[in-house]
Amino acid sequence: MGSVPIFDPIRPWLARLPPGGWPSHETLNALAEEAGTRTASGMPLRFVPPAPADPYYEVHAYQSGRVATRPGNWHDLFNALIWLAFPRTKAAINALHAAEIPREGGRRGRLRDLLTIFDEGGAIVVCADPGLESLIRRFRWRELFWDCRERVLQHMRLVVIGHAVLEKALSPWPGIACKVLFLEPGSDLDAGAAAWLDAHAGDGTPQLLAPLPVFGYPGWLAESECAAFYDDERYFRPFKRKMGKLGSESNFRSLGKIRL
């Protein structure tokens, strides 16, 4: 993983892992215990070997604090590290899943779609520049990452917390994208993301999250040093107007931030 910036949010925890071999459940649990990591139900978080498939995984984790974690599996390791780095956000995701499952009658709704997408592929955009935020919401990728390059570097930070995206980033390529929410600089990002999710518990839908090709951020890939990189619509897709009511351009602009 070296110095690839996408891993910066979990780098302090990566540094706590044994230098050789794969971290054991005991190692991860010692870190969780030291940090006092708990579910929203108050249960101490513990990473455990997988048991037979549980259709109510989120409910079980909420009630017991036990999170199934496969040894030698990057996806599950990144999930564990995000629990350590963003415990309030992960606890909020888990609690909202657990509360919603009994209401759904076996059919996952839009709120749980949002929670799953953010859990697996989410990121936080830390930005106080409304012009840059507008460019993201309007899919103006070349303008954002190339024309406004210096403003992006000075005033916009990406914090990736989706564990599936971190797994993909082990072999980075331009098409890796996240769904993002926006927070103000100076915010407690963990508390802010958790508060954003809680605030949308009643109206949650994936359309509340803006898409962002994260490896367009200046310097995250060597190819980003060339303007033509941002003209490749395989990775930097233009805005599509036929997106439904919540996905319209005006609605993207109207979605607010959580301020703490």
pLDDT score recorded for residue 226: 95
Q: What is the pLDDT of residues 114-159, one digit of tens each?
A: 999 999 999 999 999 999 999 999 999 999 999 999 999 999 999 9
pLDDT score recorded for residue 243: 41
Q: Residue 161: which of 206, 126, 111 has the closest Cα?
A: 126
Residue 156 phi/psi, 5-degree rounding, is: -135, 130
Query: Locate tokens 């909020």: which residue?
Result: 92
Distance between CA atoms of 194 and 178, rounded to whole angstroms? 17
pLDDT score recorded for residue 54: 65
Per-residue pLDDT for 162 more than 90? yes
Average pLDDT over all residues of the chain? 91
Mention every residue, 6+ apart, whose C-beta is less than 8 A from residue 255.
Answer: 137, 182, 208, 210
Q: Is 153 left (phi over 0), alpha (psi -120 to 50) or beta?
A: alpha
Distance between CA atoms of 210 and 12, rounded to whole angstroms? 28
Q: What is the pLDDT of residues 14-31, one digit of tens each?
A: 999 998 889 999 999 999
pLDDT band at 103 (very low <50, low <70, confident <90, very high): confident
pLDDT band at 55 (very low <50, low <70, confident <90, very high): low
Domain regions of the chain by residue span: 5-108, 115-254
Per-residue pLDDT for 32 more than 70? yes
Q: What is the pLDDT of residues 190-246, one digit of tens each?
A: 999 999 999 999 999 999 999 999 999 999 999 999 999 999 999 999 987 544 433
Distance between CA atoms of 39 and 47, rounded to whole angstroms? 12
DSSP three-state, residue 66: strand
Distance between CA atoms of 220 and 218, rounded to whole angstroms? 6
Per-residue pLDDT for 257 more than 60? no
For the chain, the helix, strand and coil percentages under 3-state DSSP, each to the nearest 5: 50, 10, 40
pLDDT score recorded for residue 53: 66
Q: Give the global pTM.
A: 0.90
DSSP 8-state code for residue 226: S
pLDDT score recorded for residue 29: 98
Per-residue pLDDT for 61 more than 90? yes
Record the tokens describing residue 59, joined without a space. 């409910």
Strand order in the sheet with 156-160: 156-160, 122-127, 178-183, 210-212
